[in-house]
Amino acid sequence: MTVPQTSSSSAMTAKAKTAASQFAEADEKYKDKLESMTMEERALLGLPYIAADPTLVDTRTNTRKLLRQYNQSEPGPTSPNETEGFNDISNQARRAILEKLFKIDSAKAKRIFIEPPFWCDYGSNIVFEGDFYCNFNTTILDVAKVTLGHGVLFGPNVHIYSATHGKLGLGL
């Protein structure tokens, strides 16, 4: 049995073809560069990329493992003598995870205070320009670069989305 195509599904097919042709145009425009670019480089430039790229999947998987460690880590100071910063939020174990997650040194990690749970895509695309604090349940989808200036304070439930899904010609 063949299901007749409605006018709205015909319109969607036409729009999808339009989106495909627009992505093809972008591919053609950046052809010389695209062939040598990684999917990560494409994403950071806002170009079409394949999120299922094995390197990106591995990176996101490693990030999720670090986030799980951070979100389940014990609060409180590393030692009774530790008096620097918010000791109930940041301790040596948590700072070590932040160093790996954001690919930063220990001096910078000491200036970042994140109340768990915290969520992000990659971590490495988040840049801290100084002291930073965020309250519970922050999400930063860092497919593209996110820069947080000195002295930034987030309340609870802050969500930052640095990129969107492709929507060329889809009428979204």
Compute the distance between CA of residue 63 and CA of residue 78 in angstroms, rounded to an integer.
24
What is the amino acid identity at position 75? P
Residues in the chain: 172
Residue from 165, 166, 170, 172 carrying the catalytic annotation: 165
Nearest to 72 by CA among 108, 97, 50: 97
- Map residue 63 onto helix, strand or coil: helix
Q: Is 159 a catalytic residue?
A: no
Cis peptide before 54 (omega within 30 of 0): no
Catalytic residues: 165
